[in-house]
Structure formats: C-alpha cells, structure tokens
Amino acid sequence: MMHASLYRPGNSVLHRLPAGLKLSVLLAAGGCSILVRTPTQTTTALGCVLLGYVVARVPARAVLQSLRPLLWVILALGLFQALIMGWPRAFVIVGVIVALVLLANLVTLTTRTSDLVDVVVRLSRRVRFLGMRPESIGLMLSLAIRAVSLVAELADRVREAQQARGHTISPRAFAVPLIVGALRRADEIGDALAARGYDD
C-alpha cells in the first residue's frame, strides 16, 4: 500500500532548495493565508502551488493522493460555508486549506525527511537551556514519520483479518488489536533502537 507524503527523489529547483527555506515559506504561507479574501487571490495561490508541482515534476496522481484523506472534510466544510456565507466565501476558505495542504505536501515530496529533521534539530538547539535534547527531538520526529506507515500497515492487516473471519466493521474489534499491535511494535522498535546504540 502506498502512503502519500514521502520524499520523491528528483533534481528540480525545488528539490535543490534548502529545507530550512522551504519550511520558512510554508510557515509564511500559513501566516499569510488569513490575508486571502477574494476568489481571485485564492485562485492565484492555488495556481502558484500547482506550478510548484509542475516545477518539481510531481505527477498529478500525487496531488490527488495528498487530498484524498481530506476529501470529505473539504466537501462538508465547503457545503457548510456555501450555505452560511455563500459560494465565493466557501471557495476562498476551502481553496486556502487545499493550497496549504498541497504546499505542505510539496515540501515533503521534495525534501528528504532527514533534511527536514535536521532543520528541526538545528532550531531545537536554541531551546537546549530548557533541558530539551535536540537529537532526541529529531529522532522522535523521524520515528513519528516512520510510525505512520507502520500503523497504516497494521490497520490494513487488522481490517483484512476481520474480513477473513467474516466480521463486519466494528470499531471496538478494530481498535483493540490495532492498539495492542501498535504498542507491541513500539516495544520492538524500542529494543531495536537500544540494539543500535540509542539507549540513553
């Protein structure tokens, strides 16, 4: 099973930009999003982000893949906003969210996880006086990213096991083995980290 939002190797301008700069742009875009007020501005923002995908030579499939998990939220939000505030405002709100999600996905697709983590580690060094260990924060982030695919695989396996035994989807029968499996896998990864010298 393919999970979205993982680095796609490439040699485009966007791939070569420093991770810190890309994260700063993402942060700035998030901050500036409240300034977007009109459908024209929204269309421009969406166009700029999609242009980024073209520059990075990312296929359209990846764009759709990153939006799929949000589809129902976007539809519901768009409908609700359209009923309350009208279609132009709904377009602005939904468009800005979609643009930000696509931009974040573009950063992930064009930046190695280790480079993103390095930026966070560098930034965390400034808060070392609070007793935080930057390397541990970086490791935690990397593990969290790795855990997404592990938990997704585990969820697939639990779902398949349920179906194989003829069970219909039941939240409890799904959640219990998923949580137990995730905790067990966390234990195993803890052992693996210790075995690789990360036990302090």
Partner 1 sequence: MLIDINDVSHRYPGRAKPVVDDLSVRLDERRIAVIGANGSGKSTFARMLNGLVIPSVGSVNIDGLHTSRHGSQIRKKVGFCFTDPDSQIVMPTVAEDVAFGLRRRGWSKAEIAARVDDQLATYGLERHAEHAAHLLSGGQKQLLALASILVTEPDLLIMDEPTTLLDLRNTRMVADLVSGLPQQVVMVTHDLDLLADFDRVLVFDQARLVHDGPPAEAVAFYRALMGVDA
Task: Give the interface with partner 1 as residue ranges (CB under 8 A).
Answer: 2-3, 6-9, 112-114, 135, 142-143, 145-146, 149-150, 153, 185, 188-189, 191-197, 199-200
| N residues, the chain | 200
Q: Give the burial string for 78-109 (b: 16+ CB within 10 Å, else e).
A: beebbeeeeeeebbbbbbbbbbbbbbbbbbbb
Q: Which of 183, 177, 187 is nearest to 157 (CA)?
A: 177
CB of 153 to partner 1, least distance (A): 7
Taking a C-beta distance cutoff of 8 angstroms, is the pair 174, 162 a contact? yes
Tokens standing for 172? Answer: 């409890």
CB of 4 to partner 1, least distance (A): 11
Q: Where are the beta strands (DSSP E) in 16-138?
A: none
Give the number of other CB atoms < 10 A from CB of residue 29: 19
CB of 84 to partner 1, least distance (A): 40
Residue (31 or 200) nearer to partner 1, CB? 200
Tokens standing for 23? Answer: 């994260």
Residue (70 or 145) nearer to partner 1, CB? 145
Residue (8 or 89) nearer to partner 1, CB? 8
CB of 9 to partner 1, least distance (A): 4
Residue (26 or 151) nearer to partner 1, CB? 151
